[in-house]
Amino acid sequence: MNEDAINDLIAWMKIIILTAAIVLLSRQFLFEPVSVHGQSMMPTFEEDDKVILSKISSIDNFDMIVFVAPDQKNYIKRVIGVPGDRVEMKDDQLYLNGEPVDEPYLEENRKWAETNGYPQLTTDFGEFTVPGECYFVLGDNRLNSVDSRMIGFILEETVIGEVKFRISPVDHIGTVN
């Protein structure tokens, strides 16, 4: 092999190694692709939707997160309460820090529940305060969701990231609300 070919090969190897390092570090510390499994967030997310998580976001009320649940599976849910929030559900109305909250993402599920004889989506629960370093999460499909009502508060340390972008299916590509 001539010297130019060897130099070219070394240059290409450096580019490939640098690219691989950037991809691996980005995935470890910045972003991660995830597949949605289950029906707990329908119709917001469907089975096998693909999303991108941001691992560096601060989590706020109504953000959607992926976390490691007590059964060691990854769950996707909507954050209802952050540390210090007071949360209550009464007559299918969410109250956050004593104020009623509109939940437009539930409209389709409310219509389905009404049509199928369910008087409300979410069973009442009395007011409580979300402890420090924890979140209270609910699925958008409240009639079919294993969430904080069953598994309790979600520890900050179990959060993998915030859902920022949907990459599949093609007709739903874009940022998520």
Give the per-residue pLDDT at 117. Answer: 93
Within a domain: 4: no
Q: Does residue 57 have a pLDDT over 80? A: yes
In this prediction, residue 22 carries a pLDDT of: 67
Q: Does 28 map to a domain?
A: no
Q: Is the pLDDT of residue 30 over 70?
A: no
pLDDT digits (tens, 9 = 90+) for 72-95: 999 999 999 999 999 999 999 999
Separation CA 58–CA 162 (nearest Å)? 8
Name the pTM for this structure.
0.83
**Is residue 44 one of the residues assigned to a domain?**
yes
Tokens of 39: 């029906």
Q: Computed from CA positions of residues 125, 59, 171, 40, in that sequence, does the dihedral angle turn out positive or negative?
A: negative
* Catalytic (active site) residue 58: no
Point out the catalytic residue in the list 14, 57, 77, 164. 77
Q: What local confidence, expressed as pLDDT, does residue 33 receive?
A: 79
pLDDT at 105 over 90: yes
Residue 10 lies in a domain: no
9 lies in a domain?
Answer: no
Of 14, 26, 35, 40, catalytic: 40
Residue 12 lies in a domain: no
Domain containing residue 112? 33-175
Catalytic site includes residue 14 = no
Residue pair 95/87 in contact by the 8 Å Cβ criterion:
yes
Task: Specify if 79 maps to a domain.
Answer: yes
155's enclosing H/E stretch is: strand 154-155
Q: Is pLDDT above 90 for 8? A: no
117 within a domain of the structure (yes/no): yes
Percent of the chain with pLDDT over 90: 67
pLDDT of residue 13 exceeding 90, the answer is no
Structure confidence at residue 96 (pLDDT) = 98
SS3 of residue 18 by DSSP: helix
Please state the domain count of the chain.
1
124: CATH? 2.10.109.10
CB 85 within 8 A of CB 117: no
For residue 53, what pLDDT is reported?
Answer: 92
- Whether the bond between 169 and the residue before it is cis, its omega within 30 degrees of 0, is yes
* Res. 133: pLDDT tops 90: yes
